[in-house]
Structure 1
Amino acid sequence: MNNIRMILACFLLTGATISSAQQKIQLNHDHSKMEKKQVVVEFSDENVADAYEHYEHLKNDLVGSNPGDAKKAAMMLGKALAKIEGAETALAVSAQIAETDDVQSQRKAFSKLSEAMESIVRSSIKSGKIYKDYCPMAFKEGAYWLSSIEDIRNPYYGARMLNCGKIEEVIQ
């Protein structure tokens, strides 16, 4: 009887932990909360604006550990990047992300995508700011990502380490 109680207690504790992690992830997708902290960024190139919007969707899907939606976002990002001159590297990496359902592979490729996207958005910001965030633990060497919100939402670890990272630079 004691074993049953212990198993039940462990099961309930695990469920509470998962629920808490899911609630943290939902904050990332709660647009009413995001709008308060999200800075509006304007770009001089409409195609760059479109690409950055899809990049943000992809990042949020990786934060939520949702490889299916990340795959779709990467496909949409690829379509947007195809309209931007000089975006070949970002386009190739977005295609890699769109070709897999493995979230770890998507996250690894996302670090390369973020590097390529930085130069694309940096040269086209008209107003507002983008946060260049950094996680020192990602892939044992650290990795960057871009964000429109000041709060850290780590795409490399999702709920496991949602707030791991820091703002490295504010791009304006």
Structure 2
Amino acid sequence: MRKLLMIVFVCITALAQAQLTSKEEVAPELAAKREAQKKEITSNYLALKNNLIASDSLAVITNATALQNSLKNFRFKKLSLEQMNEAAKTRKEIIALAAEVTSTKNINKQRRIFQSLSVKFWELAPKFKAADTDLHLQMCPMTSAEWVSDSKEIKNPYYPKNMLTCGVVKASL
């Protein structure tokens, strides 16, 4: 009986050690994949903003579609159930707003939708922000319209012809 217990103990210990080693080997890969997802989400949002600055409505549609797709694949981590539900709800709203952007080629309508999308995006920006990225919440003081940028330099996506550099940095991550 003792030998049997000893064999079971050795097997369980070996199995536990194998699982621990497996987790140690996989964790960096998963962390890298998650960082890549965060970069993709942020890049898609920033490309959308930059194409609004360039007044390229077709590129805006492409970026809004890419943003939707990257958000659909993202899973939140380390949140309470209440926080998870709130984050999932906000993500769903961002996806719906991005879909709304893709439904029109009118750049002014795209900009109006982008205002709401930017407010929602900033709510989740701490979850989407890649470790090596700085994000800044910027605002046009004339209209109170907000957007997120990876630079402190102001480039207003709402009025690029008349007020390109009009704005202030409200917050940073």
Give the letter for the 2:172 counterpart: V
TM-score under structure 1 length normalisation: 0.68
| Unaligned residue ranges in structure 2 (runs of 5+) | 1-31, 76-87
Deviation at 1:43, TM superposition (A): 10
Give the letter for the 1:160 counterpart: N
The residue that corresponds to 1:133 in the other structure is 138
Structure with max Cα Rg:
2
Match of 1:159, SS? coil
Give the letter for the 1:66 counterpart: D
1:90 correspondence with 2:85: no
Match of 2:65, SS? helix
* Number of aligned residues: 127
TM-score under structure 2 length normalisation: 0.67
Match of 2:139, SS? strand
1:52 correspondence with 2:57: no
Deviation at 1:120, TM superposition (A): 2.1
What are the superposed Cα offsets for residues 68-123 of structure 1, whole Å, 9 maximum, x if unpaired? 11111111111111112421011000000011101111001101111111122213
Task: Tell me which protein shows more strand as a share of its residues.
Answer: 1
Percentage of identical aligned residues: 25
The residue that corresponds to 1:19 in the other structure is none
Q: Determine the C-alpha separation between the residues in 2 that align with 1:93 and 1:82.
A: 13
Q: Determine the C-alpha separation between the residues in 1 that align with 2:161 and 2:65.
A: 24
What are the superposed Cα offsets for residues 122-150 of structure 1, whole Å, 9 maximum, x if unpaired? 13433442111001223xxx111000111
Distance 1:81 1:124, change over 3 A: closer
Give the letter for the 1:129 counterpart: D
Give the letter for the 1:117 counterpart: F
The residue that corresponds to 2:145 in the other structure is 143
Cα-Cα RMSD? 1.9
The residue that corresponds to 1:122 in the other structure is 126
| Unaligned residue ranges in structure 1 (runs of 5+) | 1-41
| Greater relative contact order (CA < 8 Å, ≥ 6 in sequence) | 1
